[in-house]
Structure 1
């Protein structure tokens, strides 16, 4: 494809998503294309070099998919994004999707209980579990349900504290008391409230890497 066709394709792709998603394309050292959304605009210009620490730079240099929250000091606004590297002959680059940071200005999860709704600070949430098609949030003082899926919670919760460890669990690492080895390279987490939470094999390598053991 020539440059015009690539830009046309990416423009159509941006319309397939929502008005909240920005689309970008890079080679191994600079941005080639950027289509901002109405909700988040990083003011990227074609030809602008990739900055160390940004999603595009990391995806190209680490040669792997990168998903992360990026603080406002990079582009002036915080955002969540994903970048997927690709290589075609001598050409190397990545495609990026940029989302607004919904955690900006928000620091609580509002739980539904039998008595009503209770806002719980992020730091008090111990773990989140999906069971019987419902999402349960367990905190130090109260537990309840929430309409979000685990995928939604992965997007809005601070990644410095919350880790997906199983298809049914997200845990707050600040509330892990001990980590026990289990069969087939998996683990069991002993939580502060006494709960035992599994780390499945598909998440074990990622979990160990993030916790550094």
Structure 2
């Protein structure tokens, strides 16, 4: 990338941030990517796993904007943040280089925008069953499909884990890229023979806890 990009953080803060401050909430996060890496970011209140020079991840809003050159908005998972986030990306040009300006709105905005689910409707063969959210013990993503469990029964839903993580009550915790658990159904947490955490539910089901989501569980249950 051209050496002129070395001075971009200052230029960007003047050119773009001043323009955004009139309509973007003060605690939003702002990132700019050009070519294949991030060249600027300003952190709001979120815990951000992003640095200048970091490669743009496949599937991220920045990657979608750079690829399509179109405005993109989406709820994405926690690949960059500790919780799912709602972001909006805009195609821009910097020194005639295609770039992406991404605004990540604070979680309070997302929670207000999307009310928590009160129930989920699950499918079993040719029947659809509405189930109160508090009766669900855990939710699983398997073979690109989403399943939730109630008293040992398995139901299929069309809602993805990404959206569920944003739309579920606070008693539901993401513990793995494939699992969300209702903490009211947890019997115990322990390490297995390989020192990985396992959550055991009251019905005996065992769910793995991945390292990237362990803090979610620790913060929720204070251990």
Q: TM-score range by the shorter chain?
A: 0.5 to 0.7
CA RMSD of aligned residues (A): 3.5
**Residues 67 and 81 in structure 1, CA contact (< 8 A), matched pair in contact too:** no
Cα 1:199–1:68, aligned 2, differ >3 Å: closer, same or farther?
Answer: closer
| Correspondence 1:182 to 2:192 | yes
Distance 2:207 2:168 in 1: 19
1:182/1:133 CA distance change after superposition, 3 Å? same
Cα displacement string for residues 67-87 of structure 1 (whole angstroms, at most 9, x for unaligned residues): 779xxxxxxxxxx979xxxxx
Q: State the TM-score, normalizing by the size of structure 2.
A: 0.55
Once the two structures are TM-superposed, the CA of residue 171 in structure 1 deviates from its matched residue by 0.4
- 1:134, distance to aligned residue in structure 2 (A): 1.0
CA distance in 2, matches of 1:189, 1:5: 46
Q: Which runs of structure 2 are paired with 1:60-209 in the superposition (5 Å)?
A: 64-65=47-48, 96-97=105-106, 98-99=109-110, 100-103=112-115, 106-140=117-151, 142-159=153-170, 161-183=171-193, 185-209=195-219
Which runs of 5 or more residues in structure 2 are unaligned?
A: 1-10, 29-43, 49-80, 88-102
SS in 2 for 1:25: coil
* Equivalenced residues, count: 149
Mapped partners of 1:68, 1:134: distance in 2: 21
Distance in 1 of aligned mates of 2:128 and 2:19 = 47
Structure 1: tracts of 5 or more residues without a match:
12-21, 32-55, 70-79, 83-93
Contact kept in structure 2, 1:23 and 1:95, CA below 8 Å: no
Q: Separation in 2 of the partners of 1:101 and 1:186?
A: 36
Contact 2:174/2:216 (8 A) holds in 1? no
CA distance in 1, matches of 2:124, 2:218: 34
The answer to whether the 8 Å contact 1:185/1:201 transfers is: no
Query: SS of the counterpart of 2:203?
Result: coil
Using the size of structure 1 for normalisation, the TM-score is 0.57
Q: Quickly say closer, same or farther: Cα 1:8–1:130, change in 2 above 3 A.
A: same
The structure-2 alpha-carbon separation of the partners of 1:5 and 1:199, relative to structure 1 and needing over 3 Å to count, comes to: closer
- Conserved 8 A contact 2:173-2:180: yes
Distance in structure 2 (CA, Å) of the matches to 1:117 and 1:95: 36
